[in-house]
Amino acid sequence: MQAIFIDNIQYLIDGSGNSAATSPAGYGMRIVNGHIESVGASVLPQPGDQHIDASGLVIYPGWVNTHHHLFQSVLKGLAVGINERLFGWLNQVTFPRVDRVTEQTLRAGVRLGLAELLLSGTTTCADHHYIYHRALDPVMADLLFDEAEQLGMRLVLCRGGQLQQQVNRDYPSRTQPETMVQYQNDIKRLTQLYHQSSGDAMRRIVVAPNTPTFSMTPNELKSLADFARGLGLRMHSHLSETENYVEFCQQTHGCLPVEFVNQHGWLGDDVWFAHMVHVTEQEFELLGATQTGIAHCPASNGRLGSGIAPIWQMQQAGANISVGVDGAASNEQASMLAELRLAWLIQRAATRRPDHITVEQVVRWGSAGGAKVLGLDQVGQLKPGMAADLTMYRLDHVAHLGLHEPIYGPIISGQATPAMVMCQGNVVVKDGEIPNLDMQSLTESVRQATQHLA
């Protein structure tokens, strides 16, 4: 039995969002076999426990990032796409390069993306990996699990897929789509190899077509939902990111996007959508009644000029809210801490209700909210029985000097460095560095991948 005792906890937010953040002077936390056994003022260490001193550090749950495209980590800041909106950016940045992704460029991008996440305090990543086409060896996606395991992170592989081409003239793809049989067979293969159903799973598979309105026919969408639920898998996709998505859906299918996916079995507490920027009040009700999940991606939505998602209204209606960094080709900084700081600011600006968009609320979106969306019910809160996924932040950046209440520091000032990150009780970041990562060789492989995809 491996036991760890975190001593002298002064600042802790547990991720539940229910209680106001407190500064619990003198708390202790005992972690046994990767899970939190107890936390509080009366918790005492046992003989033989490994001690960690939390004096002066701020403890938050490990972040749960619910929407990413890790391969894009080597496509940051391409000049051709820097001032484009979504469709122009897709046509200039990602689509022309998808069929040039090799195992080496993919590995470099995935390793870099996971490293960025870890160093911002993220312990779980849902990667919407969508670069599948007929000429690609699907086994390349297996390296995502390999890389996540080496760094000690939880990985949820949202297996993208596209079964038809150029339905929307504004949204062309240049690669040959897969067939439904290829797509479903690969999901079955991945599920058998990797999928864990436990509430603290380190590996999950999700059925995740690129976009429900463009990637396949409506009948195929419905049968894919039945297929996913038959295997006990969750479902994920992009939806309502820009006005064009909504217009295309209305012109082609005669209804709003949320109505369209509802007609094809794609709402529920086992489904979550990224973006959801352009959503009407009548759609809020459908999302809320079905407890559908949302991945809020404020940096990408800002970068591409897409707009601000009505997150608070969707939460009030009953939808489950989480946060994702989206791919680094439309963010350029895949830090969950930066994303959450932006969510805190932008949702205050949008709602004009700083009393609703509290730090505790934002921490919940980034932790327990994300875990709920992913169905990881033993992840995302610093409470007994939960997986020991946590970050202990140092507040020693110049931005933190003058700060009166340290417990809010990582969100309100940003820039905090993790003194330590744990995932399932294992130390995955120590003193701002990742023990299992050779940064020099990563830098060189990223340089080569960036050159290859220039």
Q: Report the interface residues with Zn ion, using CB under 5 A.
A: 326
Question: Which residue, 6 or 299, is less far from Zn ion as judged by CB?
Answer: 299
Q: Using the 8-state DSSP alphabet, how is residue 101 labeled?
A: -
Walk across the sheet containing 50-53 and list its strands.
35-40, 27-32, 3-9, 50-53
Question: Which residue, 204 or 394, is less far from Zn ion as judged by CB?
Answer: 204
Least separation in angstroms between residue 274's CB and Zn ion is: 5
Least separation in angstroms between residue 72's CB and Zn ion is: 9
Give dist(CA 12, CA 43) in Å, integer: 15
Question: Which residue, 67 or 400, is less far from Zn ion as judged by CB?
Answer: 67
Give dist(CA 33, CA 88) in Å, integer: 49
Least separation in angstroms between residue 238's CB and Zn ion is: 5
β 58-61/63-68 pair status = unpaired
Least separation in angstroms between residue 326's CB and Zn ion is: 5
Question: Which residue, 178 or 326, is less far from Zn ion as judged by CB?
Answer: 326
Give dist(CA 292, CA 287) in Å, integer: 5
86 residue type, one letter: L
Give the up-direction half-sphere exposure of residue 451: CA atoms within 13 A in the CB hemisphere. 7
Q: Bridge-partner residues for 40, per DSSP? A: 28
Least separation in angstroms between residue 69's CB and Zn ion is: 6
- Give the closest residue to 374 by CA, choosing from 269, 240, 291, 289: 269
Helices 142-151 and 180-194, axial angle in degrees (round to 10)? 30
Least separation in angstroms between residue 237's CB and Zn ion is: 9
Give dist(CA 350, CA 312) in Å, integer: 9
* Residue nearest Zn ion (C-beta atom): 326
Question: Which residue, 147 or 326, is less far from Zn ion as judged by CB?
Answer: 326
Least separation in angstroms between residue 374's CB and Zn ion is: 16
Least separation in angstroms between residue 254's CB and Zn ion is: 26
Question: Which residue, 326 or 339, is less far from Zn ion as judged by CB?
Answer: 326
- Give the closest residue to 258 by CA, choosing from 35, 312, 245, 47: 245
Question: Which residue, 326 or 360, is less far from Zn ion as judged by CB?
Answer: 326
Answer for the pair 379, 369: CB distance below 8 angstroms, yes or no: no
Write out the H or E segment, with its range, that includes residue 38.
strand 35-40
Question: Which residue, 65 or 391, is less far from Zn ion as judged by CB?
Answer: 65
Question: Which residue, 71 or 284, is less far from Zn ion as judged by CB?
Answer: 71
Distances (CA, A) of 59 to 7, 62, 393: 12, 9, 6
Least separation in angstroms between residue 297's CB and Zn ion is: 7
Find the length of the chain. 454
3-state helix, strand, coil in the chain (%, to 5): 40, 20, 40
Give dist(CA 3, CA 141) in Å, integer: 35
